[in-house]
Structure 1
Amino acid sequence: MTELFSTNLQIIQQRWPALALALNSQNIENLDAKLVTATNQTISVNGIQLSSRYNRLAEAQLLINQISTDERKVTVYGLGMGDVPSLLIDSKTVKQIDICILNLQVLALLLSYTDQTEWLDDSRVTIIHSPSQDRFDDNAISVLPDLLLASDENSRLRDLLVLENNREYANKKHQSDDPKIIKRFKENQRLLEQDPDAASLSLIHTQNNALIVGAGPSLELHYEYLRSQRALPIGLRPLMIAVDTALMGLISEEIIPDIVVSIDSEIKKKHFPDVIPPSIKLVYFPRVAYKVLIDWPGERFNAYSKNSLYDELDSHTPKLRLFSNGSVIHPAIDLAVYLNTKELTLFGCDFSYPNDKTHAFWEDGALGADASHAKHWVLNGHGKRVPTELNFRAYLRSLEHYIHTHPQVKFYQSSLEGALIHGAQYRECKI
């Protein structure tokens, strides 16, 4: 314990005794920490600088400028070197400053080597050391280094914050004035008018249970179970909806789903088996390549995302609108919910790379991603970190929000090897 830690902790003990107790139990020795000096000094933790080493105050002011200081309350996620709250307490309009801690170890380290007493002693400041994992405040600042260093306990909140910070950039790929999108919509206009609405599937499929099949690696553990489900009499057989990239693996195992969902403009003929049983129905968004659609041997049904990108199409050629926030898993699940299924079991919905593998059936890298290059992580069903991609984390959190808003449906996940899906119970699926 350093003298600075004792000085900082004295204030914390008076104001937040539970936090003081937690900080006293932190071991900072296993952190790879060192002082980094340029124009300013900062601390590097596990290779990540807690702030700029050239102009810390300018960096902190840049973050503050992104929110409204006219609001009475500002929330700060993470601390960096403590520069953001140090500047915020100079504001005359801000009446409440909530500091959400994302890693107690890093906070203990910061308090051990820097003087944070000025803002710690400000009555407007509240430190929240166990922040909610399901929501975040709108008028908020996210300190990037703390997001990168977030503890396991705060990984879900970290993902929500990263998703929000990147939302505007991600949406740039889905603009209605994009020439490529306009061209694809025109190519598929005749099919949109000709093919039936996916909503009409409610007249065909009335099962209470559905099996949703993604292309994650854990799918390979359940081929035998899924095959046994397809062998059931039609009246007892659950509805099976698969995503497009899962079909190759399913067909290779002689498993024939009821419906395949495809939404991505990058999906090509090579992503499908050479021979597709004509009994499989295709539900597609109009961004799917025309060649994929016209070569589909079975029935085709179309639908749109709820994204505003499809508003104009829907105004003159209305179709079922399905939830989608980047992953084809989303509309596959929403379709099953639309069809009034009461229980959904997820297969291959890993949102990660268990056993350092990207997909079932496919070679690593064949669908673009490479597990060996993954720089991010999520917690799996065993509470262990598994490698993943930034966009997978966003898809996972969007699905969890969807599950939370559909309490009338029971969700199950069939594997604990992939990402833990909050709101979905584990169901062992064996013969």
Structure 2
Amino acid sequence: MSDSFEHNAAVMEKRWPALLARVRTEDSGSLSAQLVEGLGATLEIAGIQLTSRHDRTREARLQADSLPEEPVLHVYGCGLGDLQQALLARPGLQRLYVHILNGALFKLVLQLLEQDAWLADPRVELLYASDLREIQLPFFALPAELVLADDDSAKIRDRLISETHLAFNNRLFSADSTAIGERLAAVEPWVAIDHDVAELFDTCTGREVFVVATGPSLEQHFSALHTVAAGTDRPLLICVDTAYLPLRRHGIRPDLVVSIDQRISTRHLPAQDSEGTTLVYMPLADPQVLEGWQGSRYVGYSASPVFQALRQRLPRAQLHAGGSVIHPAVDLAVRMGGKRITLFGADFAFPGSRTHAGWQDGDLGPQAGVARHWVLDGHGQRVKTQLNFRSYLCELERYIASRPEIAFFNTSRSGAMIAGTAFHADFVQ
């Protein structure tokens, strides 16, 4: 081991002996690292620069300036220690939590550079990011280490990225948007006459509920769902809008279909033969879908400010929203009284290089071939996905964690591992 590592380790041994023992087991030799130079120098790992190669100190000051003057702050990723030093220069800082996102990378830095200045500061607490289920605020996440995060830190990485992108993503749903305003105005007459979704709450207390999404793994379950749906005393069957047509093509009629997206049209929710299914929607739905739907219609809101004015004029109950239709569908299952909720096709990924069940690759969004991100599947292996899917997964996991009284089950190991669920013994594949 290098002299630098042992010097750093001597500091850590006094403060975090158990953590140091864990760091010693990390395989820093597995990393492809090289020195890159500009006006200064930095480390490059697998083509990713850890910091600026021109002025690390100035970069760290800019990063530090993005954080509020709070007594407690969090840094995700250790980098080369520059951001830690910049933050520790604040006289009002009482505690700085440094969360390791890649153990092997941290060990490599300890081997190459003296880090004792910030490691020895009594205000610093060092821990592995993966040791906590949820992210801590306020934080700065080092961009390079969000890319280089190891498998153990994958879920924390996803939460960090989701939080970082939140304001940017929400811009599409501003109440000031002309298109959104026009759609709300067009749907308002339907909101005025349709049932309040609250009328469905507690109507199926204790009944088992299946919630069907459109991930590729759903194709493995069409036969089983057809058998279950045809039986007596069967579970309540709720599907998301894009799963409705694939289910109907396989002779499966869901009890309820949930839709929230203004881009869902009669192509996804055709009126023909819809009289046996209840439509639950939010007021961005396509008026043509509402006009043609032959079954019952129920309307609800999310907490989004987009609906604030309409909600005041026409009060209706709210359903949980987290960016995807899967969130209100699951929330509806809970609010209707479900205590055992089983998820089908909730993959949040592209197993088998497919995007959705029952649709052509790219029909409902980007093609699987352009995916550059990953999550861990039910086998602990990386599977391709896209950023928004990782964000939706985070929000579902948070929702599940907030409902400890409900038993949640997953039915596929090929999609993303969903924290808080167990695999259903009768359906898992």
Same fold (TM over 0.5): yes
Shift of the 137–206 alpha-carbon distance from structure 1 to 2, 3 Å rule, reads closer
* Paired residues of 1:222 and 1:429 also in contact (CA < 8 A): no
Q: TM-score, normalised by structure 2?
A: 0.95
Mapped to 2, the partners of 1:203 and 1:150 lie a distance apart of: 43
Q: Which moved more, 1:257-266 or 1:90-99?
A: 90-99
Q: CA deviation at 1:9?
A: 2.0
Q: Which residue of 2 aligns with 1:177?
A: 176
Map 1:84-163 to 2 at 5 A.
84-129=83-128, 131-163=130-162
* Paired residues of 2:34 and 2:44 also in contact (CA < 8 A): yes
What SS does the corresponding residue of 1:304 show, helix, strand or coil?
coil
Mapped to 2, the partners of 1:409 and 1:207 lie a distance apart of: 10
What SS does the corresponding residue of 2:195 show, helix, strand or coil?
coil
Q: Which moved more, 1:127-136 or 1:334-343?
A: 127-136
What SS does the corresponding residue of 2:352 show, helix, strand or coil?
helix
* Paired residues of 1:260 and 1:280 also in contact (CA < 8 A): yes
Which consecutive residues of structure 1, in runs of 5 or more, have no partner in the other structure?
Answer: none
* Paired residues of 1:207 and 1:238 also in contact (CA < 8 A): no
**Runs of 4+ off more than 6 Å:** none
Task: Identify which of 279, 287, 294 aligns with 2:284.
Answer: 287
Superposition CA RMSD, Å: 1.8
Q: CA deviation at 1:116?
A: 1.5
What SS does the corresponding residue of 1:382 show, helix, strand or coil?
coil
Aligned-pair identity in percent equals 37
Aligned residues: 428
Mapped to 2, the partners of 1:270 and 1:16 lie a distance apart of: 59
Counterpart residue type for residue 175 of structure 1:
S
Q: Which moved more, 1:21-30 or 1:368-377?
A: 21-30
Mapped to 1, the partners of 2:398 and 2:309 lie a distance apart of: 27
* Paired residues of 1:243 and 1:261 also in contact (CA < 8 A): yes
What SS does the corresponding residue of 1:29 show, helix, strand or coil?
helix
Q: CA deviation at 1:430?
A: 4.3
Mapped to 1, the partners of 2:427 and 2:402 lie a distance apart of: 29
Counterpart residue type for residue 68 of structure 1:
P
Q: TM-score, normalised by structure 1?
A: 0.95
Deviations, residues 368-403 of structure 1 (Å, cap 9, x unaligned): 121111111111111111111111111111111111
Q: CA deviation at 1:52?
A: 1.5
What SS does the corresponding residue of 1:269 show, helix, strand or coil?
coil
Counterpart residue type for residue 20 of structure 1:
L
Q: Which residue of 2 aligns with 1:35?
A: 35
Q: Which residue of 1 aligns with 2:164?
A: 165
Q: In the alignment, is residue 18 of structure 1 matched against residue 18 of structure 2?
A: yes
Q: CA deviation at 1:15?
A: 2.2
Q: CA deviation at 1:53?
A: 1.6
What SS does the corresponding residue of 2:114 show, helix, strand or coil?
coil
Q: CA deviation at 1:203?
A: 8.0
Q: CA deviation at 1:259?
A: 0.8
Mapped to 1, the partners of 2:253 and 2:291 lie a distance apart of: 20
Q: Which residue of 2 aligns with 1:191?
A: 190
Q: Which residue of 1 aligns with 2:222?
A: 223
Mapped to 1, the partners of 2:136 and 2:27 lie a distance apart of: 30
Q: Which residue of 1 aligns with 2:369?
A: 372
Which consecutive residues of structure 2, in runs of 5 or more, have no partner in the other structure?
Answer: none
What SS does the corresponding residue of 2:35 show, helix, strand or coil?
strand
Mapped to 2, the partners of 1:203 and 1:96 lie a distance apart of: 46
Counterpart residue type for residue 19 of structure 2:
L
Counterpart residue type for residue 392 of structure 2:
Y
Task: Identify which of 388, 404, 418 aligns with 1:407.
Answer: 404
